[in-house]
Amino acid sequence: MRHYYFVVEGAHDVAAIGKLLKKKDLKELRDQNLISEVWINNLIPEKFPFKEDKLDRITPIPSFYQSENVSVAIHVAGGDSKIANTLDLTLTNQKFKY
């Protein structure tokens, strides 16, 4: 399976990309059991709350879309100035080799 990772500014960007992916027959996944192990092991935090005791409005969990041979994760950075940092943190904390 091919995996693609997007970091976007906000929720509207996720919605726009999601609509494009749905037109290409990718389905949005909301069941953790259906999400690729690559994403489970690298993008989904193991604890809640995510930062100390803060219940942040922006969740660090990406949106996931998948077809038979393509899996996409779309991560909201929470602002255009945070995109590079979000990508850097993801690459730094990953458990797989790139």
Structurally, the chain folds into a number of domains equal to: 1
Q: Are 73 and 39 in contact (CB under 8 A)?
A: yes
Tell me the C-alpha distance between 56 and 5, whole Å.
22
Q: Tell me the CATH number at 57.
A: 3.40.50.10620
Residue 21 located in a structural domain: yes
Range of the domain at 14: 2-93
Q: Quick one: how many helices (H) and strands (E) in the chain? A: 3, 4
What pTM was estimated for this model as a whole?
0.82
Residue 42 located in a structural domain: yes
| Nearest C-alpha neighbor of 86 from the set 9, 3, 28 | 9
**Both tokens of residue 54?**
């803060």
Can you spell out the DSSP letters for 25-55?
T-EEE--GGGS-HHHHHHHS-SSSSSBTTB-
The pLDDT tens digits along the chain (98 residues) read 999 999 999 999 999 999 999 999 999 999 999 999 999 888 877 765 556 666 665 567 899 999 999 999 999 998 999 999 989 888 887 765 54
Residue 98 located in a structural domain: no
